[in-house]
Amino acid sequence: MNFLPVLSWIPGNARPLVIAGPCSAETEAQVLQTAHALKLIPQVRVFRAGIWKPRTRPGSFEGVGSAGLLWMKKVKEETGLLTTVEVAKPHHVQEAIEHGIDILWIGARTVVNPFSMEELAESLSGIDVPVLVKNPVNPDLKLWIGAIERLHKNGIHRIAAVHRGFYQYENTRYRNAPHWEIPIELMRQMPGLPVLCDPSHIGGSRNLIQPIAQQAMDLEMDGLMIETHPDPDKAWTDASQQLTPGALSDILNGLVLREHKGSREFERNLEELRHEIDLIDYELIRLLAERMLKAEEMGRYKYAHNITILQLQRWKELFADRIKKGSKAGLDTRFLAALLQLVHEQSIEIQTNVMNKLE
């Protein structure tokens, strides 16, 4: 599959290609005010705004709709910035093209659905417009690739993937887990495909935008899509993750662009290792939780048989046994002793709580 490098779509632009603008177009004044402020930031070449917003529940603000396309047209005329909006249905494509939108983007909630992707790709057939494809909500590389293939099959060759993170079950500091190994694998499987990063939807909060953007640059991604609002706290959608144009400018000026051969390969291996460590840690956490449940059961059993919690002899034997096993496995004895102490203390506390409750 051949792809055109993203920088060839926008002559004169240096890496990273920066796309900025509000999560949602709210009013004409907000759109134009943001665009004029962004125009002053030399790295920003494309203005984004969501016109049709995919919302989890009906009744939330679902975008200003077609009216926003006229505001985007004004942005283009007044600032010279290129424009991009999210499209999810064939009629969005048609209207966006009619209003001279330069680049279309397909959102994470649309990319998960092969029926929607097929329909959209067909509606784009014969239209020579660049399309950005966000990753699907769930961490499924094949769905992402499938969406790109569907567009490619319909004659779209100016395609870029946008990494915006993945739904996660556990709460972490990210709104959407980055799973860097997935876009890295995408780069490996689709060489030449431009890949951008959307730190706003990965981070979900302002203070995470900078480190995520830097990491994307270290992985040699081609560009960034960052949500920007003149008064972020008052934004109608995604308030906590939007930046003022000034804050965006500071982040862009602080980015370190390292260029060295083989770094993608190096970072890829590093990410794979990090991912494996994550999985081991999750397993450790699961096992610890399981062990504490056993301690609770033990507390109830000791109570029923009127036995004291601390069985000193058993603890001494257990400790010696684990240290022996640990050092055979190559673990540092001091480290293991400290860990065992902690686990034992917690276990005693749990048993004491159980007994107190039963008392």
Residues near ligand PEP (CB under 6 A) are 23, 50, 54, 107-109, 134, 164, 201
Bond before 199 cis per omega within 30 degrees: no
If the CB atoms of residues 95 and 238 are measured against Mn ion, the closer one turns out to be 238
If the CB atoms of residues 110 and 123 are measured against Mn ion, the closer one turns out to be 110
The strand pairing partners of 48, in sequence order, are 84
**Does 238 engage in binding with Mn ion (CB under 5 A)?**
yes
Residue with the two structure tokens 């060489």:
191
* 359/353 Cα distance (integer angstroms): 10
Q: How far is the CB of 200 from Mn ion (least distance, A)?
A: 6
| Residue nearest ligand PEP by beta-carbon distance | 107
**Does 222 engage in binding with Mn ion (CB under 5 A)?**
no
Q: How far is the CB of 345 from ligand PEP (least distance, A)?
A: 44
Asked whether 160 and 169 are in contact (CB, 8 A), the reply is no
**Does 271 engage in binding with Mn ion (CB under 5 A)?**
no
If the CB atoms of residues 50 and 178 are measured against ligand PEP, the closer one turns out to be 50
If the CB atoms of residues 105 and 350 are measured against ligand PEP, the closer one turns out to be 105
Residue 164 contact among Mn ion, ligand PEP, none, beta carbon within 5 to 8 Å by kind: ligand PEP
Residue 108 contact among ligand PEP, Mn ion, none, beta carbon within 5 to 8 Å by kind: ligand PEP
Q: How far is the CB of 71 from ligand PEP (least distance, A)?
A: 16
Residue with the two structure tokens 């010696």:
320
Query: Rounded to a whole number, what is the distance in angstroms from the first to the last CA of the chain?
Result: 71
Q: Which of 168, 54, 154, 57 is nearest to 107 (CA)?
A: 54
**Does 26 engage in binding with Mn ion (CB under 5 A)?**
no
Among 18, 23, 208, 226, binds Mn ion (CB under 5 A): 23
**Number of Cβ atoms within 10 Å of the Cβ of 323:** 15
If the CB atoms of residues 23 and 190 are measured against Mn ion, the closer one turns out to be 23
Asked whether 129 and 156 are in contact (CB, 8 A), the reply is yes
Burial annotation 208-232 (CB, 10 A radius, 16+ → b, else e): bbbebbbbbbbbbbbbbbbbbbbeb
Q: How far is the CB of 226 from ligand PEP (least distance, A)?
A: 10
If the CB atoms of residues 134 and 350 are measured against ligand PEP, the closer one turns out to be 134
For residue 86, the SS3 value is strand
Q: What is the binding site for Mn ion (CB under 5 A)?
A: 23, 238
